């Protein structure tokens, strides 16, 4: 005990006790362990006028400096230190520079005190009696300082008090962290509920997808794109560049189409460009797939909160799509009934028709034109059920596209035909306007099923309500003719049919059937494919006004082959192809055939 006789001879033991007691009392007021350790450090620095003071923390089997005051040349560089290289008594009891030299030389911690150049130093543990985790306080002087014996007991006892106070402060800090975490959870939950409310509001109030997409993008702070089940974009909200990036995304989606469509996982991630990632989530309801949602984000940084918001948004999208489908189905039923009545030869209740027309924004007292178009698909290459499904989806896309193009266009189906009712506005070039409508339809179809042929027949203008029946039939006849035309025309206006517009008023009488049968049936019934070749050859020959060179070039056959076919046609029909009267009869037969679409007439 003699080694402690002169710790700070200028300070009495009472003064040291008072300082330690006041320090422990003040520690109670602090909120965090770091604040308490810092206060302890500063109080020793100010009270004992030392050159260096540090709090050394024991964590598991390693010692590390938690906080310190003063400069160190080499001491701090030695940390972390292994506890196994330090004497246990040096860590659990007070020690000073007056200890036996053999003691500190066998302990790495005490030896480093000497190597640092601390002439006078002392340590004491901040430790509860039964604790295995504790801190050690080091106070060092670079010059010799007087020491005093009776301080050992005070530092040992107050070291325990400091440890107890530290534990209280630590528990207080944990409670505050817990309260803070609970408050953050509460704020996060409130924020999430606000997000859900905003998304549900858009689903209930809105009639489209853009507002939901925009809201979701704002909530998660990411670019969001909604795709249909064929991976075509329906709505998007971009943060940053749009057009070029959207093209990259669509290109990558189509390159990975099989994987996206066939892997059962609801969430998938794709890489596009050099550093960009796109998350893909399925929008479904039960086993029915409605589409996909793409989010431009990093998979690693897409946290739980964003995922929960997105999952809720997927349900909202499914509700919105389902709602639109139900509304569309209901509208379609009303629309079909209205259109069926409008196209009847005799309208019974005209007042009711006017009321219904108002619901569909159709003015029956202004000129309108009827368009009927067909989408010709080679079904032999695909499953019939798949083709039917695609055609249904294409029709939905066409309706949406035409509504965006001109909200006054009415789209419907009648007798499995696609029908348009379009106001005829005098200020517009009618032919050019229908060309634009055709272009809109073709762009939609070609993006989903390339290589498909589209034909469009257009009626004359309606003048009264009773004209809709006649104009609908005109559009159908114009469609039939353009489909059978040998030219590259894909659009036919009834007003441009010429003599065919007179034939339109003919009834499909028995005399008409006999006329067609007389002039065309011998060709159609000859052989298998040979008869069809002769039928097409005669049609082209008449269209070319009997010019052999142009006819052969159009049919891609040799002139001698053409002459052979013409001789065969002459033999089968028993007539002279050079006779103007016979040519007229043949051309009339072809026009009646196209007009009334008498295919396989020889079977009747």
User: Going from the N-terminus, what domains does the chain have, and what CATH number goes with each?
Assistant: 13-174 (3.30.450.40), 206-326 (3.30.450.40), 344-493 (3.30.70.270), 510-597 (1.10.10.2840)
Adjacency order of strands within the sheet including 120-126: 81-82, 62-70, 52-59, 135-141, 120-126, 95-96
Comparing CA positions, the residue from 281, 319, 343 lying closest to residue 470 is 343
The reported pLDDT for the residue numbered 439 is 93
- Burial (Cβ within 10 Å: 0-12, 13-18, ≥19) of residue 587: middle
Q: What is the pTM of this model?
A: 0.44
pLDDT reported for residue 150: 60
Torsion, CA 88, CA 93, CA 99, CA 101, rounded to 10? 10
What residues have CB less than 8 Å from 28, skipping those under 6 apart?
165, 168, 169
pLDDT at 368: 92
Whether the bond between 80 and the residue before it is cis, its omega within 30 degrees of 0, is yes
Backbone phi and psi for residue 186, each to the nearest 5 degrees, phi listed first = -65, -45
CA distance 236 to 136: 61
Q: How far apart are CA 94 and CA 159, in angstroms?
A: 9
Q: What is the DSSP string of 17-44?
A: HHHHHHHHHHHTT-SSHHHHHHHHHHHH
Task: Count CA atoms closer than 13 A to 333's CA, side-chain side.
Answer: 5
Q: From CA 45, how far away is CA 126, in angstroms rounded?
A: 17
Residues of the chain with pLDDT under 70: 1-15, 100-105, 128-134, 147-154, 156-159, 161, 188-189, 192, 195, 199, 202-208, 241-244, 327-336, 359, 378-386, 426-428, 486-487, 499-509, 528, 596-604
State residue 457's pLDDT score.
93
Q: Is-contact 91 138, C-beta < 8 A?
A: no
Following CA atoms 249, 399, 315, 281 in sequence, which dihedral angle do they give, to the nearest 10 degrees? -20
CA angle 483–487–489, rounded 5-degree value: 60
Per DSSP, the residues of 330-397 read HHHHHHHHHHHHHTSSS-S-HHHHHHHHHHTT--TTS-EEEEEEEEE--GGGS-HHHHHHHHHHHHHH
């Amino acid at each position: 005990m003699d080694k402690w006789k002169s710790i700070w001879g200028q300070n009495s033991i009472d003064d040291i006790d008072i300082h330690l007691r006041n320090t422990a009392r003040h520690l109670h007021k602090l909120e965090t362990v770091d604040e308490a350790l810092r206060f302890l450090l500063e109080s020793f620095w100010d009270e004992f006028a030392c050159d260096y003071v540090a709090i050394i923390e024991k964590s598991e089997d390693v010692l590390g400096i938690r906080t310190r005051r003063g400069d160190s040349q080499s001491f701090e560089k030695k940390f972390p230190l292994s506890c196994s290289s330090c004497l246990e008594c040096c860590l659990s009891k007070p020690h000073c520079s007056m200890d036996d030299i053999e003691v500190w030389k066998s302990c790495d911690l005490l030896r480093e005190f000497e190597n640092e150049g601390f002439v006078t130093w002392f340590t004491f543990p901040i430790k509860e009696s039964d604790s295995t985790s504790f801190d050690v306080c080091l106070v060092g002087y670079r010059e010799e300082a007087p020491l005093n014996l009776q301080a050992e007991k005070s530092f040992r006892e107050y070291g325990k008090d400091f440890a107890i106070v530290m534990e209280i402060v630590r528990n207080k800090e944990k409670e505050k962290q817990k309260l803070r975490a609970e408050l953050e959870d509460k704020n996060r939950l409130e924020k999430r509920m606000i997000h859900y409310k905003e998304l549900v509001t858009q689903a209930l109030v809105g009639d489209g997808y853009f507002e939901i997409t925009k809201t979701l993008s704002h909530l998660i702070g990411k670019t969001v794109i909604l795709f249909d089940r064929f991976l075509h974009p329906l709505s998007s909200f971009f943060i940053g560049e749009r057009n070029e990036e959207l093209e990259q995304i669509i290109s990558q989606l189509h390159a990975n189409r099989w994987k996206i469509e066939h892997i059962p996982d609801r969430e998938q991630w794709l890489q596009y460009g050099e550093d960009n990632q796109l998350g893909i989530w399925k929008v479904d309801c039960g086993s029915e797939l409605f589409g996909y949602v793409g989010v431009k984000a990093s998979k690693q940084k897409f946290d739980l909160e964003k995922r929960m918001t997105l999952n809720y948004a997927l349900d909202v999208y499914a509700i919105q799509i389902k709602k639109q489908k139900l509304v569309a189905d209901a509208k379609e039923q009303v629309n079909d009934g209205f259109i069926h009545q409008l196209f009847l030869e005799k309208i019974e209740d005209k007042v009711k028709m006017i009321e219904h027309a108002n619901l569909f924004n159709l003015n029956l007292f202004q000129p309108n034109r009827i368009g009927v178009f067909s989408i010709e698909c080679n079904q032999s290459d695909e499953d019939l059920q798949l083709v039917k499904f695609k055609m249904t989806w294409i029709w939905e896309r066409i309706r949406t596209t035409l509504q965006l193009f001109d909200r006054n266009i009415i789209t419907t189906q009648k007798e499995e035909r696609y029908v348009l009712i379009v106001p005829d506005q005098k200020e517009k070039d009618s032919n050019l306007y229908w060309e634009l409508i055709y272009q809109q339809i073709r762009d939609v179809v070609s993006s989903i099923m390339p290589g498909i042929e589209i034909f469009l027949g257009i009626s004359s203008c309606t003048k009264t309500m009773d004209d809709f029946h006649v104009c609908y039939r005109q559009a159908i006849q114009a469609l039939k003719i353009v489909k059978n035309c040998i030219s590259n025309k894909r659009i036919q206006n009834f007003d441009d049919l010429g003599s065919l517009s007179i034939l339109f008023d003919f009834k499909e009488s028995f005399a008409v059937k006999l006329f067609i049968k007389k002039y065309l049936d011998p060709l159609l019934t000859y052989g298998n494919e040979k008869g069809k070749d002769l039928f097409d050859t005669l049609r082209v020959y008449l269209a070319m006004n009997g010019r052999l060179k142009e006819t052969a070039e159009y049919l891609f056959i040799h002139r001698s082959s053409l002459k052979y076919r013409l001789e065969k046609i002459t033999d089968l029909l028993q007539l002279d192809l050079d006779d103007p009267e016979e040519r007229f009869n043949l051309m009339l037969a072809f026009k009646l055939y196209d007009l009334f679409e008498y295919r396989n007439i020889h079977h009747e």
